Amino acid sequence: MPTLLIVHHTPSPNCQALLEAVVAGATAPEIEGVDVVRRPALSATASDVLAADACLLGTPAAIGYMSGALKHFFDQVYYPCLDATRGRPYGCWVHGGSDVTGAVRAVGSIAGGLGWRAAAAPVTVTGTPSRQDLESCRELGAVLAAGLTD
Ligand SMILES: Cc1cc2nc3c(=O)[nH]c(=O)nc-3n(C[C@H](O)[C@H](O)[C@H](O)COP(=O)(O)O)c2cc1C
C-alpha cells in the first residue's frame, strides 16, 4: 500500500488544528488504499522517509525560518535519502504570527535540494486559523493522499 508520511512540528493549539485538518484530508473515507503515517519532526527518521511514497511537512515560522525541529529532521534525512527519493511528491503547511515567507522558502529550498517535487502549493496561515485555512489544510492532505492512488 502506498504511504503518505506526515512530518510536523506542532508546538501550539493553532498548529495542532492545522495538523488535524491535514490528517483529516489525508484520511478522508473517499481516499482508499493509502497508509497515512504521522511523525513529530523530532522523531521522524530516514527510514520513515525511505518507506514512504510522499511527504507532507508542517512547521511554525521561527525567526524567519522553519522550526529547528523540522530543520533537524532534514539534517537527519538529507544524505541518507538523497539518492533514493528524487522526484518524491511533497507538500507543506506553515503557521506563523505575521510573516511566514522565510519559512516557506526554507522548506522549498531543502526539499528542492533533495529533488522532491511540490505536489501542491504551500498552505500558509497566520494567527488563529479561519474556517478557510482549515479547509485549505484539509485539501492539502487530500491532494497528497489522492495523488498516491493514481
Ligand atoms: C522565537 C519565535 C520566533 C518566531 N518567528 C516568527 C516568524 O519569523 N514569523 C512568523 O510569522 N511567526 C513567528 N513566530 C510565531 C510562531 O510561528 C507561532 O507562535 C507559532 O506558529 C504558533 O502559533 P500560535 O502561537 O498562534 O499558536 C515566532 C515565535 C517565536 C516564539
Distance CA 145, CA 150 (A): 10
Residue in 114, 15, 118 with CA at minimum distance from that of residue 59: 15
Q: Is 75 exposed, middle or buried (0-12, 13-18, 19+ CB in 10 A)?
A: exposed
Strand-pair category, 3-8 with 89-96: unpaired
Residue in 69, 73, 68, 26 with CA at minimum distance from that of residue 45: 73
Q: Please indicate whether residue 14, judged by its CB atom, sits closer than 6 Å to ligand 1.
A: yes
Residuewise pLDDT in 10s, the chain (150 residues) = 999 999 999 999 999 999 999 999 999 999 999 999 999 999 999 999 999 999 999 999 999 999 999 999 999 999 999 999 999 999 999 999 999 999 999 999 999 999 999 999 999 999 999 999 999 999 999 999 999 996
CATH 3.40.50.300 applies to domain 3-146: no
Distance CA 115, CA 129 (A): 31
Distance 74 CA to ligand 1 centre (A): 20
Answering whether pTM is above 0.85, one says yes
Residue 93 in grid coordinates: 503547511
Pocket test for ligand 1, best of 10, 18, 19, 63 (most atoms within 8 A of CB): 63
